[in-house]
Amino acid sequence: MSNLANKRVLKELKDFVSNNSATNGPLKLVSSQDKVDCILIEMRITSNPLYDPNTPFTLSYQIGDDYPFSPPQIVFVGSNIPVHPHIYSNGHICLNILYDGWTPVQSISSIVLSLQSMLLNNRVLEKPHDDENHCKYGPSNPLLSKWVFHDDTV
């Protein structure tokens, strides 16, 4: 990871921790180190009856050398992947701001809040219509997927 990317990530982590530690809310930093290229963050959805508020979802951020000018690879990991029309069973997230809509203004906090909002506002427990094919034949890195962003109502 470049020095610029590392400095930016360390600043974002500091902001993220300070903004979320006061409330002891549903966002929690799981791991980080002095040179950060992968971050795990726990997210709990406490205000949507579709999701168990006691069961965390874990996000993985893999940050490349071009960060923040190119997006990090962000996926849900672990055995508890949220069921949502835009989240695949392999943890890939179909959300424009993680790909074509990425801008350097975005941060760890803004992305986590966007994903939390997406889950809080979900009204149906269903997987994407092409979940099985994407998980079986799609690339392991979601940044290499050819997403079609056609539904921003979910």
State the catalytic residues: 94
With 0-12 / 13-18 / 19 or more C-beta atoms within 10 angstroms meaning exposed / middle / buried, residue 154 is middle
- Determine the Cα–Cα distance for residues 18 and 117; give it in Å rounded to an integer: 20
Tell how far CA 68 is from the center of its chain: 15
Task: Give SS3 for 31.
Answer: strand
Could you give the C-alpha distances from 43 to 63, 64, 79, 81, 84, in angstroms and in order?
Answer: 19, 23, 14, 11, 15
Which residues face 87 on adjacent strands? 84, 93
